[in-house]
Structure 1
Amino acid sequence: MNQQSNPRSRASSSLGLWAVVAVFAGCALLSPVIPGALADLVFIVPLIAFGAVHGTMRYGWRVMVVFAVITLIVSNLMENLSILTGFPFGHYHYTDHLGPKLFLVPLLIGPAYIAVGYLSWVIGTVLIGPVRKGARLFNTVAVPAIASFVMVFWDICMDPGMATVQRNWVWEGAGGFFGVPLTNYLGWFLTVYLFLQIFALFLRHRGDATTDVTPLPASYYYQAIAMYGAVALKYPTRYLADLVGGDSGTVTDAAGHTWWTGDISETAALMSIVTMLFVTILAALQLGQGRPALPRTDRHQEHDPAAVAH
């Protein structure tokens, strides 16, 4: 059984998830005053906890383990490959600011891919439709593609501050977007698309036939949408804090280009509004209009009750 059948247990999980959303949103608003190391944990831990509970309610824990394993393997492989060869992200290396590493990549990077990748996946299914055993090929390809754009929107907001300003990683040839090259975002799209496409194929061909068939309430999907929106909040908040505090200076990237930190935070705020928050609103409106329909029986199963029995 993939979803929790006990209504009381499901209600408790739902309240708990809303509580995580509220706490995470509060932390996003307070992010300018949270110390760096603690800020990383405050960001990752609630997202991972949310994804584990939320995903299990829809897919079951075994499928979520598969999602996590696929994401970790693909993301770590692609990151290490790029550090060694420059493909697909470009030439860069991580500093020691993010702590211990798995090969050449900090351990914190994998959970970040899992957490925001899951939220992006949910938004993709809200915008396009569910992916499950017997699903249309269109859904199987379109959901990972749209979700990859949703994931890259986050990196557009995040990368210049984390790299050029905070020096968590260094772009050795720098780049035109505040020291970040275009190849980074193309590499992000490719990497995210790969692990989400593999997961989609798993659901379509090897998943449980009952996975993601029983509808869940709309509030369940609003939770993931709100969580993604909360991720976006930290960038306008950071910009407002810098603006009020007058905390702006210059940073120099690896190519010797000098950038104003205030310009970086303002651009991140702008991009979060026109990309991440736009997608948040779009998904919420799409869900409110009932398009696409929430997970339901496929056409070939509509007249076969046994096909959807749990």
Structure 2
Amino acid sequence: MSLRRRLPWALLALLVLAQIGYPLTAGTTRAGLTVATVVIGFGLSVSHALLSRGPRTAAVLVAVTTGGGLAVEACGVATGFPFGGYDYAGTLGPKLLGVPLIIPLAWTWMAWPAWLVAVRLVRGAAARIAVARIAVAAVALASWDLFLDPQMVAEGHWTWLDTDPALPGVPDIPIGNYLGWLAVALVMMALLSAVGGGRVHRTDPVDAPMYALYLWTYASSVLAHAVFLGLPASAGWGGLGMGLVAVPFAVALIRARRR
């Protein structure tokens, strides 16, 4: 098996082990494991983009999602736009412009599998297909925050200044935050589509680790929130929201294997 196939699977296995350990720890150990998980996830997505699509695509991915993630988070902390007013605690390591450095890495971690899942689900070269692909990719990324924000707020990593209105059962995060995520995700995916071009659109069996990452994130998040983290409402909302993409994607993969 070549390096481009071995390395993503190895990093995915390491990521899964780190996430399994998350509910078994607490305090500073859990915070350290959170940072390590994000770094591994970032390395997984960027290395996969590099090995499967080449340095240009990897550079575009980092510029759009890491650089863009830092810019939008810094704007959010300073102005409250586009997510609403919030503050980061000092629990996630060093900050730049008021934003923990691992936060923009997290955008990249999930943006790449979200994009590839959309590429697999929405195929074709027509303009309307490209628009649909961007929309699906944006939902695939933004819906992840239905799990992420409740979990991180419960751990005290950041807090919201105004939480009204909020989703039922998730009172500590404003609905506007999720809408902000969707807007940012749409811009990111549009840029990946426009700047990345055809090489980003190409699909290949080598993308299997990213498919597995997305489906693992969905299934493990539902389980963790419902059973281990005491967050049943976010398990439900995340299960519904991320399931809009994850469930049809899983069905499509199962059908493709039966052909």
TM-score past 0.5 threshold: yes
Instruction: Give the whole-Å Cα distance in 2 for the aligned partners of 1:215 and 1:187.
Output: 29
Structure 2 contact 88–99 (Cα < 8 Å) conserved: yes
Q: Please list the CA deviations of residues 200-220 of structure 1 after superposition, one character each: whole Å capped at 9, or x if unmatched.
A: 11133xxxx6x2587622xx3
What is the deviation of 1:32? 0.4
Kindly indicate whether the alpha-carbon contact (under 8 Å) linking 2:92 and 2:100 is maintained by their aligned counterparts in 1: yes
If the length of structure 2 is used for normalisation, what is the TM-score? 0.85
1:142 aligns with 2:132: yes
- Cα displacement (A) at 1:235: 4.7
User: What residue is the counterpart of 1:77 in the other structure?
Assistant: 71
- Match of 1:171, as an amino acid? W
User: Which runs of 4 or more aligned residues in structure 1 lie more than 6 Å from their structure 2 counterparts after TM superposition?
Assistant: none
Find the aligned partners of 2:136 and 2:177 in 1 and give their Cα distance.
18
Matched, 1:47 2:41: yes
The correspondence for 2:156, drawn from 152, 163, 167, is 167
Instruction: Give the letter aligned to residue 166 of structure 1.
Output: E
Q: Could you report, residue by residue, the CA deviation over 1:140-170 in whole angstroms, capped at 9, with x for unpaired residues?
A: 322221111111221011212212x222111
Deviation at 1:290, TM superposition (A): 4.5
The residue identity in structure 1 corresponding to 2:237 is M
1:280 aligned to which of 232, 237, 246: 246
Partner of 1:13: 4
**Residue 61 of structure 1: how far off its partner (Å):** 1.7
Equivalent residues in 2 for 1:262-273 (5 A)? 262=230, 265-273=231-239
Residues 67-124 of structure 1 show CA distances to partners (whole Å, capped at 9, x for unaligned) of 1112223222222222222221111121212221111211111100011111111111
2:144 aligned counterpart, secondary structure = helix
Work out the CA distance in 2 between the residues paired with 1:114 and 1:213. 17
Work out the CA distance in 2 between the residues paired with 1:77 and 1:105: 9
- In 1, the alpha carbon distance for the partners of 2:201 and 2:76 equals 39
- In the alignment, the residues of structure 1 paired with residue 10 and residue 70 of structure 2 have an alpha-carbon distance, to the nearest angstrom, of 31
Distance 1:281 1:17 in 2: 23
The equivalent of 2:18 in structure 1 is 27
Aligned to 1:198: 191
Runs of at least 5 residues in structure 1 that lack an aligned partner in the other structure: 1-7, 243-261, 292-310
How far apart are residue 287 of structure 1 and its match?
A: 3.4
User: 1:75 and 1:16 mapped to 2: Cα distance?
Assistant: 25
Residues 275 and 223 (structure 1), Cα distance of their counterparts in 2 relative to 1, 3 Å cut: farther
**Closer/same/farther in 2, CA of residues 278 and 226 from structure 1, 3 Å limit:** farther
Structure 2 CA distance for aligned equivalents of residues 78 and 290 of structure 1: 38
Q: Structure 2 vs 1, CA of residues 142 and 123 (structure 1 numbering), >3 Å: closer, same or farther? A: same
Higher helix fraction: Structure 1 or Structure 2? 2
**Secondary structure in 2 aligned to 1:179?**
strand
Q: Are residues 82 and 278 of structure 1, via their aligned partners in 2, closer, same or farther at CA, if it must alter by over 3 Å?
A: closer
Query: For 1:106-145, what aligned pairs fall within 5 Å after superposition?
Result: 106-129=100-123, 135-145=125-135
- Report the Cα offset of residue 239 of structure 1: 3.8
Q: How many residue pairs are counted as aligned between the two chains?
A: 249
Instruction: Report the CA distance between 1:226 and its aligned residue.
Output: 1.2
Post-superposition Cα deviations, 1:171-205, rounded to whole Å, max 9, x if no partner, equal 1012323211111011111111112211211133x
Cα distance in 1 for partners of 2:68, 2:45 equals 19
Q: Is the 8 A contact 1:235 1:269 kept in 2?
A: yes
Partner letter of residue 137 of structure 2? A
Q: 1:277 to 1:141 in 2, by over 3 A?
A: closer
CA distance in 2, matches of 1:166, 1:74: 25
Residue 85 to residue 45, structure 1, CA distance change in 2 (3 Å): closer
Distance 1:275 1:213, change over 3 A: closer
C-alpha distance in 1 between matches for 2:160 and 2:53: 38
Please tell me the root mean square deviation across aligned C-alpha atoms, in Å: 2.5
Cα distance per residue 1:229-276 (max 9 Å; x no partner): 22231452354235xxxxxxxxxxxxxxxxxxx3xx112223343343
Q: Which one of 204, 224, 249 corresponds to residue 216 of structure 1?
A: 204
Larger radius of gyration: 1
Q: Percent identity?
A: 24
